[in-house]
């Protein structure tokens, strides 16, 4: 309390936005458990599923079982419509539990019934409140799309729903993890989930860290609400080579996209006390150049108190052509015909 009523009223308004990560279905819930293992201080974690067994086994504390009347806690077996009916039934509880949060990351693997149905459903519902939903979709491996047409249809329906809504969808293609073919499967998913961890902690840092270059919640919301299909890149490199850092990050992309024509980018840079303004300028110039001089760039930095040889970049590259995501989720026609 100060002795100024006006300052007191500002203090009451200055609290950081509250953040939740919500895993939808099996893959989404497992991603949230990985984020918890990596540490997400100040962020509340939820798992939402139609599968009671999976919910009982997950390490995520806040759990919501949906559609138990129809699906009896057994999962949906890929039935997106049944999950949607369950979601309508459970909508009040879902929104009551999620209402306190201003930024809500929604994580789902597409192709099954639960995550595929809930990602657009909750994005739409949360957009109608004052919250900022950030839907993150893991696209199935090519072999799943080639061999299981109901998976493909679920993915297509989900992407179409999200596109129809306009606004943000962050897409990460599992197929791009094939470069880790020699790792055990759970380790491969952990690599991808570490990217998502970087996204969550960077965005939280950007809105909660007013001491450095930061972005207010309203600008972040405006930026994300206006950049539709997006993907995530993460890179780390020696601080003396900022251009190489940008190159490394862009090489590690988890979606095929047209790199040289992205209209928007949100970037977060984290370095030690030796991270200079000159280095920041070199990173941003290199990034803008590689992305074809995007019209909109939102940036945040975090400078730790100790010096560090490593600079870390996390960027959300937005406004990708819708065609790009369709290409990523739909195999070429000839291959579909072969698979039948
Ligand atoms: N990270 C991760 N992804 C997975 C895992 N299993 C499957 N996936 C991917 O996620 C997609 C969706 O699968 P699930 O998450 O199991 O499906 P669901 O949303 O629970 O839907 P239903 O079980 O059909 O109700 C699959 O096509 C895979 O590409 C997993 O264990 N971890
Ligand atoms: Mg499931």
Rounded CA gap, 217 and 219, in Å? 6
Is the CB of 195 inside a 6 Å radius of any atom of ligand 1?
no
pLDDT band at 92 (very low <50, low <70, confident <90, very high): very high
CATH of the domain at 182: 3.40.50.1440
Say if residue 49 is in the same domain as residue 167. yes
Instruction: Please give the mean pLDDT across all residues of the chain.
Output: 88
Both tokens of residue 16? 């950081």
Give the lowest-confidence range in 7-21, 54-68, 233-247, 256-270: 7-21
Residue 332 falls inside a structural domain: no
Last residue of a domain, one of 202, 237, 253: 202
Residue 220 falls inside a structural domain: no
Per-residue confidence (pLDDT) for residue 323, from 0 to 100: 53
Is the CB of 254 inside a 6 Å radius of any atom of ligand 1?
no
Is the CB of 27 inside a 6 Å radius of any atom of ligand 1?
yes
Say if residue 144 is in the same domain as residue 246. no
Ligand 1: atom nearest CA of 31 is 1
Q: What angle do CA 160, 165, 170 make, to 5 degrees?
A: 70
Taking only the tens place, the pLDDT of each residue in 166-201 is 768 899 999 989 999 999 999 999 999 999 999 999
Using the mean position of ligand 2's atoms as its centre, give its distance from the Cα of residue 35 in Å: 19
Residue 219 falls inside a structural domain: no
Domain carrying residue 313:
227-324
pTM higher than 0.85, yes or no? yes
pLDDT band at 11 (very low <50, low <70, confident <90, very high): low
Residue 178 falls inside a structural domain: yes
Both tokens of residue 309? 């040889």
In contact, 200 and 105? CB cutoff 8 Å: yes
Is the CB of 115 inside a 6 Å radius of any atom of ligand 1?
yes
Ligand 1: atom nearest CA of 29 is 15
Nearest to 23 by CA among 157, 180, 196: 196
Both tokens of residue 281? 């300028």
Q: How many alpha carbons fall within 13 Å on the CB side of residue 155?
A: 28
Strands (E), 2-50: 19-24, 43-49
Per-residue confidence (pLDDT) for residue 79, from 0 to 100: 95
Is the CB of 109 inside a 6 Å radius of any atom of ligand 1?
yes
Using the mean position of ligand 1's atoms as its centre, give its distance from the Cα of residue 32 in Å: 13
How many structural domains compose the chain?
Answer: 2
Residue 111 falls inside a structural domain: yes
Say if residue 174 is in the same domain as residue 234. no
Using the mean position of ligand 2's atoms as its centre, give its distance from the Cα of residue 109 in Å: 10
Rounded CA gap, 272 and 246, in Å? 18
Say if residue 240 is in the same domain as residue 281. yes
Say if residue 194 is in the same domain as residue 160. yes
pLDDT band at 334 (very low <50, low <70, confident <90, very high): very low
CATH of the domain at 290: 3.30.1330.20
Q: What percent of the chain has pLDDT above 90?
A: 61
Say if residue 158 is in the same domain as residue 286. no
Specify the residue with its C-alpha closest to ligand 1, atom 2. 27
Taking only the tens place, the pLDDT of each residue in 112-156 is 999 999 999 999 999 998 899 999 999 999 888 888 888 989 998
Residue 330 falls inside a structural domain: no
Per-residue confidence (pLDDT) for residue 277, from 0 to 100: 94
Ligand 1: atom nearest CA of 144 is 27
Say if residue 188 is in the same domain as residue 243. no
Backbone φ/ψ region at 42: left (φ over 0), alpha (ψ -120 to 50), beta? left
Is the CB of 190 inside a 6 Å radius of any atom of ligand 1?
no
The DSSP 8-state label assigned to residue 18 in this structure reads: P
Specify the residue with its C-alpha closest to ligand 1, atom 11. 109
Taking only the tens place, the pLDDT of each residue in 197-230 is 999 999 888 888 765 676 778 888 888 877 778 8
Say if residue 28 is in the same domain as residue 176. yes
Say if residue 186 is in the same domain as residue 246. no
In this structure, what is the dihedral angle of CA atoms 121, 124, 125, 130, given to the nearest 10 degrees?
Answer: 150
In contact, 101 and 20? CB cutoff 8 Å: yes
Q: What sign has the CA pseudo-torsion 209, 287, 315, 272? A: negative
Per-residue confidence (pLDDT) for residue 206, from 0 to 100: 83
Ligand 1: atom nearest CA of 49 is 20
Say if residue 145 is in the same domain as residue 257. no
Residue 335 falls inside a structural domain: no
- Kindly list the distances between the CA atom of residue 67 and the CA atoms of 108, 125, 126, 207, in Å, as whole numbers in the listed order: 17, 17, 19, 35
SS3 per-residue string spanning 77-92: CCCHHHHHHHHHHHHH
Using the mean position of ligand 2's atoms as its centre, give its distance from the Cα of residue 67 in Å: 13
Per-residue confidence (pLDDT) for residue 333, from 0 to 100: 40
Both tokens of residue 273? 């006390």
Residue 6 falls inside a structural domain: no
In contact, 32 and 46? CB cutoff 8 Å: yes
Say if residue 86 is in the same domain as residue 162. yes
Say if residue 29 is in the same domain as residue 107. yes
């Amino acid at each position: 309390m100060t002795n100024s009523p006006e300052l007191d009223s500002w203090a009451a308004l200055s609290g950081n936005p509250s953040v939740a990560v919500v895993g939808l279905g099996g893959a989404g819930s497992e991603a949230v458990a990985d984020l918890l293992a990596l540490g997400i201080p100040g962020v509340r974690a939820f798992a939402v599923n139609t599968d009671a067994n999976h919910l009982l086994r997950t390490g995520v504390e806040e759990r919501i079982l949906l559609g138990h009347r129809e699906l009896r806690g057994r999962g949906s077996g890929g039935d997106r419509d049944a999950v949607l009916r369950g979601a309508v039934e459970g909508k009040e509880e879902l929104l009551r539990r999620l209402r306190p949060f201003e930024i809500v990351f929604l994580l789902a693997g597409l192709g099954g019934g639960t995550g595929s149905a809930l990602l657009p459903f909750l994005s739409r519902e949360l957009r109608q409140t004052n919250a900022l939903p950030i839907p993150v979709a893991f696209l199935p491996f090519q072999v799943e799309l080639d061999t299981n047409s109901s998976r493909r249809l679920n993915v297509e329906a989900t992407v179409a729903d999200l596109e129809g809504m306009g606004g943000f969808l962050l897409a990460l293609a599992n197929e791009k993890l094939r470069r880790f073919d020699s790792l055990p499967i759970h380790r491969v998913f952990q690599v991808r989930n570490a990217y998502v961890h970087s996204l969550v902690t960077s965005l939280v840092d950007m809105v909660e860290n007013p001491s450095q270059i930061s972005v207010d919640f309203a600008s972040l919301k405006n930026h994300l609400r206006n950049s539709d299909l997006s993907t995530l890149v993460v890179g780390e490199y020696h601080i003396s080579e900022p251009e190489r850092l940008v190159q490394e990050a862009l090489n590690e992309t988890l979606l095929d996209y047209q790199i040289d024509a992205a209209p928007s980018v949100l970037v977060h840079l984290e370095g030690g006390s030796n991270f200079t303004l000159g280095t920041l300028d070199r990173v941003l110039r290199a990034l803008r150049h590689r992305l074809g001089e995007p019209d909109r760039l939102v940036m945040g930095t975090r400078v730790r108190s100790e010096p560090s040889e490593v600079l870390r970049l996390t960027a959300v590259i937005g406004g990708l052509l819708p065609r790009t995501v369709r290409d990523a989720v739909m195999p070429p026609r000839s291959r579909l015909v072969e698979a039948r």
